[in-house]
Amino acid sequence: MSKMEQVAEKSESLILLHNAVIITLNPQLHVFRDGGIAVEGDIIKSIGQSHHILSQFSHLPHSQFIDLHGQFILPGLINTHVHTSQQLGRGIADDVDLVTWLHHRIWPYESNMTPNDSYISTLLCGIELIHSGVTCFAEAGGQHVPEMARAVQLLGLRACLTESIMDTGEGLPASWAIRTTDHCMQSQKELYSKYNNTADGRIRIWFGIRQIMNSTDRLLLETRDAAQELKTGIHMHIAEIDYENHVVKDTRKVNYGTVTYLKKMKLLQSNLLAAHTVWVNEKEIQMLSDAGTKVSHCPASAMRMLGFAPIKEMMDAKVCVSLGTDGAPSNNRMSIVDEMYLASLINKGREVYSKGATDPTALPAETVLQMATINGAKSVLWDNEIGSLEVGKKADMIVVNPFSWTMVPFHDCISSLVYCMRSENVISVMCNGRWIMKDRKILNVDEEKVISMARSASAELLKRARIHIPSKMNFV
Ligand SMILES: [Zn+2]
């Protein structure tokens, strides 16, 4: 080991990044053209003009100086709806209808997962998340949470983990059909007591409700109360398809859909993260806003299976909307960078229905960037510590290299980040003050090894689940 490397290793506790364009996403939306940022331990100690930061700390021995030569620094991106368990199921449900997707692919797949499958699936998913600049994610509800937590701890990510919870429903796999409400609640409370606030505080445990069609009213109410008591969040798929609203009307004998029903159950609160929320009316949008309920918009997945979510209307009504990828069998790409681009395009195009023409001013770049950062932090109830680069917040940030054919030339760095950036432009990722990817190399796990484990685990799992994917062409 050279002398310089020794110094760098010792000085890990104070890192100074300088000569960078820093997009802070703070309340004033400050951008430093030639900025510097000092990180001590897991905290942002100082942020400002490069020369200020350098003069403030240059006298300190063992400081690690990194000249970024004009590259961009922004807060770590936050993916507020991702199914880590589904990563091994990428490609198992392309171009199929919704019933085939759920009953013949996803349920058999998830119900046949072993704990080790969950571990490998989360590692593989985490690698893709990190490459796309994500430092924090909200699990949508998956299998074998302890193994999920083990993978998150190793990867160095921050996450709100949630178990997949259903206590009723037709056509459920046999191993799930026997789960009682008590069992669902007990299991989640145990997970909370074992894993909440672990991995140096990077892991939090949330309650999950997969969707209203698979929940009894008792489950809804007990979840509401338990989350309130433990001061944590609830993650739930809400108003995904129009059929869901009809099922609520038929089974609950009411004349309204999911969102109104949840309001009457007093579940619509500020700790509820509503995924998708596509089939909502004007009144329900106002209900979401009044309650402070957060919405995770998953543009790719919505386009594939659900429909156009009224995102512009929600944002006009001051609903906090963030971005999610959904799972690999619904989207295939777990890149929040791609979702930023899609969110803007889809919501500009959707205006054709109300205005007769697309609206290029809908969801502008700065709004989309806020959705992927500070709104994400609010959605996971963590905005006091993450989502923007400010003194005293956790050091969760990414370095973007804009000097490549994907982004050059750039005149407005915010537009460039939303409309031009690809995952490949994200070169380094820091979470909780530690680098988890540097120069595009994932640091805490062996990427090649995970890919190899994932290929064999996925093949075995599909065999066990008897999932056959028919060929669409004549392979010879
Ligand atoms: Zn989902």
Kindly report the CATH number assigned to the domain that includes residue 143: 3.20.20.140
Dihedral of CA atoms 291, 276, 247, 252 in degrees, nearest 10, equals -20
**Are 261 and 329 in a shared domain?**
yes
The answer on 326 and 427 residing in a single domain is no
- 258 by Cβ neighbours in 10 Å (0-12 / 13-18 / 19+) ranks as buried
Last residue of a domain, one of 379, 410, 434: 379
| 163 and 304 housed in the same domain | yes
| Max intra-chain CA distance, the chain | 74
- What does the pLDDT read at residue 42? 97
Give 216: exposed, middle or buried? Use CB within 10 Å, 0-12, 13-18, 19+.
Answer: middle
CA of 329 to the centre of ligand 1 (A): 10
Q: Say if 138 falls within a structural domain.
A: yes
In a domain, 463, yes or no: no
State the distance from the centre of ligand 1 to the C-alpha of 236, rounded, in angstroms. Answer: 8
175 alpha carbon – ligand 1 mean position (Å): 21
User: Do 87 and 31 reside in the same domain of the chain?
Assistant: no
442 CA to centre of ligand 1 in angstroms:
26
> Do 34 and 138 lie in a common domain?
no
Q: 109 and 62 in one domain?
A: no
Between the CA of 210 and the centroid of ligand 1 the distance, in Å, is: 8
Distance 141 CA to ligand 1 centre (A): 8
Task: Say whether both 221 and 281 belong to one domain.
Answer: yes
Contact 261, 251 (CB under 8 A): no
CA–centroid distance, 282 to ligand 1, in Å, is: 23
Domain that holds residue 438: 3-75+390-442
Q: Are residues 405 and 363 in the same domain?
A: no
Q: What is the CATH number of the domain that holds 434?
A: 2.30.40.10
**291 Cα to the center of ligand 1, angstroms:** 22
Q: How much is the pLDDT for 9?
A: 43
For residue 153, the CA-to-ligand 1 centroid distance in Å is 22
Note whether 190 and 246 are same-domain residues.
Answer: yes
359 and 429 share a domain? no
pLDDT of residue 2: 41
CA–centroid distance, residue 475 to ligand 1 (Å): 32
Q: What is the per-residue pLDDT for 57?
A: 87
Provide the pLDDT for residue 33: 97
| Structural domain contains residue 451 | no
Which 3-state string (H, E, C) describes 222-234? HHHHHHHHHCCCE
* CA dihedral of residues 153, 133, 424, 343 (deg, nearest 10): 130
Q: Which run of H or E residues covers position 452?
A: helix 447-464
**Ligand 1 center from residue 139 Cα (angstroms):** 9
What separation in Å is there between the alpha carbon of 83 and the centre of ligand 1?
A: 6
- Tell me, in angstroms, the distance from the centre of ligand 1 to residue 81's CA: 6
Same domain, 284 and 397: no
Query: Which two structure tokens, joined as six digits, stand for 330?
Result: 């619904």
**468 is a domain residue:** no
Q: Give CA–CA dist 379/49, Å, rounded.
A: 30
How far, in Å, from the CA of 240 to the mean position of ligand 1? 9
Instruction: Give the per-residue pLDDT at 98.
Output: 86
> What's the structural domain count of the chain?
2
d(CA 296, ligand 1 centre) in Å: 10
Residue 461 domain-assigned (yes or no): no
- Do 33 and 136 belong together in one domain? no
Is the N-terminal amide bond of 402 cis, ω within 30° of 0? no
CA of 275 to the centre of ligand 1 (A): 7
Considering the domain boundaries, does residue 476 fall inside one? Answer: no
User: Does residue 306 lie in a domain region?
Assistant: yes
Q: Is residue 456, in this structure, part of any structural domain at all? A: no
Query: 325 alpha carbon to ligand 1 midpoint, in Å?
Result: 8
Distance 38 CA to ligand 1 centre (A): 37
Consecutive sets of 10 residues in the chain, 476 residues long: mean pLDDT of each? 40 84 98 97 97 88 90 98 98 91 93 97 98 98 97 98 93 83 98 98 98 96 98 98 95 97 98 98 98 98 94 97 97 97 95 87 96 98 98 98 96 96 98 98 98 98 94 87
Contact 138, 79 (CB under 8 A): yes
pLDDT at 13: 74
